[in-house]
Amino acid sequence: MFFSILESILLSRLPYLSGLTEAHVPDWARLRAGELGGEPVTLRSRLWSADQLRRIRLSIIESAGAFEAFNLLLIPFPACASPIFAAEFLAAGGKPRLAVIDFQDLRKEDPGWQAQWIDCFESAAAPYLHLGTSRSDMPSWTEAFFSRLVFHRKPPGEALEACFGAFDSYLSAFIGRVSGSTPLENFADVLAMEDAHRRYHSDHLANEPAVRTLGRLFGSEWATRYAREFLFDGA
Q: What is the pLDDT of residues 166-205, one digit of tens each?
A: 999 999 999 999 998 999 999 999 999 999 999 999 999 9
What domain count does the chain have? 1
Q: Tell me if 195 is assigned to some domain.
A: no
Give residue 58's pLDDT band: very low, low, confident or very high (50, 70, 90): very high
Mean pLDDT (whole number) for 207-223: 92
Phi/psi at 53 (5° precision): -120, 120
Q: Using one digit for the tens of pLDDT, what is the confidence trace for 31-49? A: 999 988 888 999 999 999 9
Alpha-carbon gap, residue 187 to 174, rounded angstroms: 24
Q: Which residues contact 202 (CB under 8 A, 6 or more apart)?
A: 232, 235
If 0-12 CB within 10 Å is exposed, 13-18 middle and 19+ buried, where does residue 112 land?
exposed
What pLDDT, on the 0 to 100 scale, is given for residue 1?
61
Q: Tell me if 53 is assigned to some domain.
A: yes
Q: Using one digit for the tens of pLDDT, what is the confidence trace for 74-119? A: 999 999 999 999 999 999 888 899 999 999 999 888 899 999 999 9
Judged against a pLDDT cut of 70, whether residue 235 lies above it is answered with no
Q: Tell me if 151 is assigned to some domain.
A: yes
Q: Tell me if 203 is assigned to some domain.
A: no
Q: State whether the Cα torsion 80-82-84-89 is positive or negative.
A: negative
Q: Tell me if 157 is assigned to some domain.
A: yes
Under DSSP, is residue 148 helix (H, G, I), strand (E, B) or coil? coil
Q: Tell me if 70 is assigned to some domain.
A: yes
What pLDDT, on the 0 to 100 scale, is given for residue 230?
96
Residue ranges making up the domain that contains 106: 3-186
Q: What is the CATH number of the domain that holds 43?
A: 3.40.1500.20
The H or E element containing residue 76 is strand 67-76
